[in-house]
């Protein structure tokens, strides 16, 4: 079985691809190449650069881990693109916050801890992105970090 980190990331991708957002099925996980304009609107999911933290529960022998995941919804267009990116961000939040599949993996909670908007007119079109940082708190035993407890 994959590490719970991977299970969470896969679950986020599956959820958002099926969530009927403006990005439709253009949901990418661990994408290493820049999106093409033709891909937009799209959602990119990746583990946060701040990674994951782990703390032992001394009595039970279970670890609490908090995985940070960045989710970005990118949109192209004209003057309405920033609002469209926020609307895509809203769709992402609603899907993530109400997902039973994510809650089953992250029994300690799924919550958004930050978001920001980036708008740029440097390219041939206005491109905007709503970036969200999510925290997934889950529990595992140190010897089996692929099984949530």
Contact 113, 133 (CB under 8 A): yes
**110-139 residues near other proteins, rule: CB under 8 A:** 118, 120-129
Contact 68, 51 (CB under 8 A): yes
Q: Which of 112, 116, 104, 147 is nearest to 133 (CA)?
A: 112
Distance between CA 140 and CA 75 in Å, rounded?
37
Choose between 4 and 75: whose C-beta lies nearer to other proteins.
75
Least distance (Å) from other proteins to the CB of residue 108?
29
Choose between 7 and 128: whose C-beta lies nearer to other proteins.
128
DSSP 1: -
Interface mask toward other proteins for 74-113; x: CB under 8 A: x-xxxx----------------------------------
Choose between 106 and 127: whose C-beta lies nearer to other proteins.
127
Q: Which of 55, 27, 76 is nearest to 139 (CA)?
A: 55
Q: Which of 43, 117, 127 is nearest to 78 (CA)?
A: 127
**38-77 residues near other proteins, rule: CB under 8 A:** 40, 44, 72, 74, 76-77
Looking at 18, 20, 37, 147, which residue binds other proteins (CB under 8 A)?
A: 37
Choose between 50 and 146: whose C-beta lies nearer to other proteins.
50
Sheet harboring 109-120: ordered strands across?
A: 27-29, 42-57, 62-77, 126-140, 109-120
* Residue 12 engages other proteins in binding (rule: CB under 8 A): no
Residues engaged in binding other proteins (CB under 8 A):
33-37, 40, 44, 72, 74, 76-79, 118, 120-129
């Amino acid at each position: 079985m994959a590490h719970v980190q991977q299970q969470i990331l896969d679950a986020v991708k599956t959820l958002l691809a099926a969530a009927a957002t403006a990005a439709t099925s253009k949901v990418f996980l661990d994408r290493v190449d820049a999106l093409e304009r033709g891909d937009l609107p799209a959602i990119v999911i990746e583990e946060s650069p701040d990674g994951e933290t782990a703390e032992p529960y001394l009595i039970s022998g279970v670890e609490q881990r908090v995985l940070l995941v960045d989710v970005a919804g990118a949109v192209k267009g004209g003057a309405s693109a920033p609002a469209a990116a926020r609307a895509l961000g809203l769709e992402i939040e609603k899907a993530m916050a109400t997902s039973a599949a994510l809650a089953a993996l992250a029994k300690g909670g799924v919550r958004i801890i930050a978001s920001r908007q980036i708008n740029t007119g440097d390219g041939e079109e206005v491109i905007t992105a709503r970036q969200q940082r999510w925290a997934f708190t889950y529990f595992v035993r140190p010897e089996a970090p692929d099984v949530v407890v």
